[in-house]
Amino acid sequence: MAGNKHPTVDLGNKVKRLCVALLLLCASCQFRVPKDPEILVQNLGAEPGTLNPILMTDANAAQVSSFIYETMLELDNETLEYKPMLAEKWEVSPNHLQFTFYLRKDVKWQDGVPFTADDVVYSYNVIQDPKIDAAVARVSFRDVEKVEALDKYTVRFTYNKPYFRALLVCGGISIVPKHIFNDGQDFNTHRANRKPVGTGPYIFKEWKTKQKIVLERNPDYWRAAPRIKGIVFKIIEDATVPFQELKKGEIDLSELRPIQWERETNTRSFESQFNKAKYYTPFYSYIGWNLRRPFFQDKRVRHALSMLINKQAILDKLLFGNAIMVEGDQYYFSNAYDRNILPDPYDPARAAKLLDEAGWIDHDGDGIRDKDGVPFKFDLYYAAGSIFASQLATMMREDLSKVGIKMGLRGLEFTALIRFVEERNFDAVTMAWGVPLENDPFQIWHSSQVNEGSNYIGFVNKDADAIIEAIRVEFDKRKREALFKRLQMILHDEQPYTFLFNPATMLAYSKRFTDVKIYKLGVDIREWGVKK
């Protein structure tokens, strides 16, 4: 047809009605602008308390800050050995007391200021300052005598006695920019705790409380810039929501719950959009008994409580077999873990007998055991956003009630839970620890850490202290592993924790991303690319 006029078409009544219906439908829709395919969106299980790596104590904060801040050494994904990062090289003195790091000269903070040895020394001094809320970090440096900048790009750590993890502790020190924090503001409440400036591959852009944290690619990164343009962490504390968001395409990467892994991700539709990965990291869940409470001071009671927790049923019903039952604090797949030490079996009859022997008997006939006038009633604290913890607590309450123990449930928002635990203001708590490949048990188990460190439950044992102190100065790996196993036996005998599981990490991620490699300890988003 010639010209620009449109032809007149008689649609007919039926077609007209269809068009009207479509118009009405479209008017009622809430259209969303498609998100940038080069940005990865993932969920974050809880609101971080801070993004300052010196102050942080939770895994959610560490997950975000790992893309912003860097250390002098890093773990090689393939070999699991440490290699240079912000340091080009290092030297260790023959007596294991001095560790000298030679820093790269081409690294800048994300605001353009050069990274130097002064930043390392400043960060160490902050950690050592008792006014700073860095008790968890401070314990790692308790044997450091001094840290000094030998020149602009050389820093030396000097210890007053040898420590087997000294190289990794010094090389892994959390480093913050001196020029930003050393401005007279309170370090604990500094504005940069929510607006961090690091040296890493991603720059902080935005933090909307209870909603999201946004990072964008650092175009001036000292190494090759990452191929993913940005990362958005959506803060989703309800554990049932991320999987639905994943299926809708609102997020690209999410950990899966065991039931989702087993029953909801094997459809043709899901497999056409997502890949899955499963691996075990150094991690264990546990129930910690506050030994300051009268109920938990007798180890017979603690063994009884462990025997009242049906771990096999929990493993089968809640985790669908996607976990390893553990009885120790070292990585299950390491030589430091003794697999011959088995958890207490589920045995309610034996548990009841142990409770009787310990004097916890129902003296007044009210159905609840008591001793010296104190009824056996306590609260279990847990993260309310964790479905596993909620289900575990419910199963425990039922099993304990059968033998005359009344357990209340205290599900709290994660930050509130951490506050109660750090203040030692709880009866029992179920949480988890992520640990290094070869973990120094000092912070969690040594008696000196009862009030300030991570020995929240108040465990005091002279034999354990002696072994822990021997571990710290033992450089022979095999001898050190033997000491770890001796400590594991003491923990089994004392039962300050009821150790639970090393759960599998199960991920689903969009097939939009390329070059995804599954390492022994997980994935590395910094390596990923995006399909064009």
If asked whether residues 451 and 471 sit together in one domain, one would say: yes
pLDDT digits (tens, 9 = 90+) for 121-170: 999 999 999 999 998 889 889 899 999 999 999 999 999 999 999 999 99
Give 179's contacts (C-beta < 8 A, 6+ positions apart). Answer: 109, 113
Position 40 in a domain: no
Q: How far apart are CA 90 and CA 169, in angstroms?
A: 13
If asked whether residues 88 and 208 sit together in one domain, one would say: no
pLDDT at 25 over 50: no
Position 24 in a domain: no
Mean pLDDT of 97-105: 98
Name the nearest CA neighbour of 214 among 457, 36, 72.
36
Query: In this structure, how many other beta carbons lie within 10 angstroms of the beta carbon of residue 489?
Result: 16
pLDDT of residue 238: 87
Position 249 in a domain: yes
Position 83 in a domain: yes
Q: Cβ(497)–Cβ(286) under 8 Å? A: yes
pLDDT of residue 436: 85
The alpha-helical segments, DSSP class H, found in 99-165 are: 117-128, 135-138
pLDDT of residue 385: 86
Give 130's contacts (C-beta < 8 A, 6+ positions apart). Answer: none
pLDDT of residue 376: 98
Here the CATH number for the domain that contains residue 233 is 3.40.190.10
Number of domains in the chain: 3
- Residue 33 confidence class, pLDDT cut points 50, 70, 90: very low
pLDDT of residue 383: 94
Q: How far apart are CA 210 and CA 413, in angstroms?
A: 12
If asked whether residues 399 and 485 sit together in one domain, one would say: yes
Here the CATH number for the domain that contains residue 168 is 3.90.76.10
User: How high does pLDDT run on average in the chain?
Assistant: 92
Name the nearest CA neighbour of 326 among 295, 280, 289.
280
If asked whether residues 373 and 468 sit together in one domain, one would say: yes
If asked whether residues 473 and 352 sit together in one domain, one would say: yes
pLDDT digits (tens, 9 = 90+) for 359-418: 999 999 999 999 999 999 999 999 998 889 999 999 999 999 999 999 999 999 988 999
pLDDT at 23 over 80: no
Q: How far apart are CA 393 and CA 413, in angstroms?
A: 15
If asked whether residues 429 and 513 sit together in one domain, one would say: no
In order, the DSSP letters of 22-48 are HHHHHHH----PPPPTTEEEEEESS--
pLDDT digits (tens, 9 = 90+) for 261-303: 999 999 999 999 999 999 999 999 999 999 999 999 999 999 9
Position 18 in a domain: no
* Domain range for 307: 283-503
Position 36 in a domain: no
Here the CATH number for the domain that contains residue 358 is 3.10.105.10
pLDDT digits (tens, 9 = 90+) for 34-85: 478 999 999 999 899 999 999 998 889 999 999 999 999 999 999 999 999 9
Instruction: Give the three-state DSSP class for 163.
Output: coil
pLDDT at 26 over 80: no
Position 62 in a domain: no
If asked whether residues 250 and 388 sit together in one domain, one would say: no
If asked whether residues 265 and 298 sit together in one domain, one would say: no
If asked whether residues 249 and 223 sit together in one domain, one would say: yes
If asked whether residues 399 and 480 sit together in one domain, one would say: yes
pLDDT of residue 240: 86
If asked whether residues 498 and 520 sit together in one domain, one would say: no
In order, the DSSP letters of 213-277 are EEEEE-TT-SSPPPSS-EEEEEE---TTHHHHHHHHTS-SEEEPPHHHHHHTS-SHHHHHHEEEE
Position 324 in a domain: yes
- 305 pairs with which residues across the strands? none
Residue 458: both structure tokens together:
């108040």
What CA–CA distances, in Å, run from 136 to 132, 208, 453?
Answer: 11, 27, 6
Q: How far apart are CA 528 and CA 513, in angstroms?
A: 6
pLDDT digits (tens, 9 = 90+) for 322-333: 999 999 999 999
pLDDT at 441 over 90: yes
If asked whether residues 247 and 121 sit together in one domain, one would say: no
